Amino acid sequence: MNRLYAISGVTGMTGNELVRQILVEGSKDHILGFDNFYASSIETVSDHIGDIRFEFFHYDLNNDDQMFDFESRVGALAPEYDEVVYINCAAVVHTEHFYHVYETFDTNVLGMKSFMEQAIRVGAQKYINCSTSEVYSMNSWNEQGGVKESDYLTMAVAEHSQRTSYATGKLLTEFFMKDAVDEGRIKGCSIRFANVYSKDEKYPKHIIPYIINSFRDNGKVVLLENSRNNRRTFLNNYDSCSAVLALVYTDSALDGTVYNVATDEEISIIDLTKLCADKMGIKNPVIEFSGYRESDPERRLLSTEKIRTRTNWRPAVNLAKGLDECISNYLKE
């Protein structure tokens, strides 16, 4: 089956890895992708610039004229392919923006909805909505194998912290997705990624590249006070994207519901920092603490039983391997 993919945020952390996994040697699939370079660069897809299977547009999800042109291009190509798949990777994601509702609403909520409506208008068969594990908020772990998609949420509200405005917006997109599928307008699902990291982030603000770059550039790491207690699991970008495609390839899973995508290798932030230092050859790492983040859960442990049961997805990159790749790449830079 030959597929035409329409991908928003295509040069971001999720989008650029999807390009590599879709356009493997021999693939007859085609990608139309766009990005506004909010937190990325054309360099992230440099290995496929010039590939006739990949068309890139410097467009903004919130620009109506640009989205009209993009929709026209997808519609013109659609008859040549067996299936049209929309994947929404565009999002304002870094933690520093979580507390600013205006910075996240247009792209994360309105943008997702308008991109899905576009997919429906062009007759796309599938729509994948990239959500976030932030929706679990203060109920982000349990001792029975991790939080399941069907568990009730316990969320902080505006009286506690503005941080949850990001999670609330992403949660709303999951309702849009479910409604569209229930109404028979399209097949699709939402994905809650947990703590994704990559070996080649353009702006290394996630914790793993932050730790590596801090040791490299400053000889020490300054962590938030929360990090004295926080524990996390970490999902390599390769595995997050392979999960997206596993769902694309599994029609029976596209029922409008939500899928956790995570690992079960839980580690404390302090131990993670020490592990990075050890792998970098730093014997006595200097770790300092400054600042505090409101409504930051101490643990985040998600159950992936649902996606493992309904698809053939399994994580392929363990934390040790992922850290080695990150350290090698960031130190090379």
Cβ neighbors of 288 (< 8 A, separation 6 or more) are 220, 221, 222, 223
Q: What is the pLDDT of residue 156?
A: 87
The rounded percent of the chain whose pLDDT value lies above 90 is: 82
Q: What is the mean pLDDT of the chain?
A: 94
Q: Which residue has the tokens 């990949």?
A: 54
Q: What is the pLDDT of residues 183-231, one digit of tens each?
A: 999 999 999 999 999 998 877 778 999 999 999 999 999 999 999 999 9
Q: In the chain, what are the domain boundaries?
A: 3-198+234-265+297-317
Integer Cα distance of 56 and 59 in angstroms: 9
Model confidence at 94, pLDDT cuts 50, 70, 90, reads low
Query: pLDDT band for position 333 (50/70/90)?
Result: low
Arithmetic mean of pLDDT, 90-101? 75
Q: How confident is the model at residue 98 (pLDDT cuts 50, 70, 90)?
A: confident
pTM: 0.95
- Average pLDDT for 169-195: 97
Fold classified for 3-198+234-265+297-317: Rossmann fold (3.40.50)
Q: pLDDT digit string (tens) for 10-68?
A: 999 999 999 999 999 999 999 999 999 887 889 999 999 999 999 999 999 999 999 99
pLDDT given at position 236: 97
- Using one digit for the tens of pLDDT, what is the confidence trace for 121-148? 999 999 999 999 999 998 899 988 899 9
C-alpha radius of gyration, the chain, whole number: 19
- pLDDT bin (cut points 50, 70, 90) of residue 251 is very high
Closest CA relative to residue 317, chosen from 140, 146, 198: 198
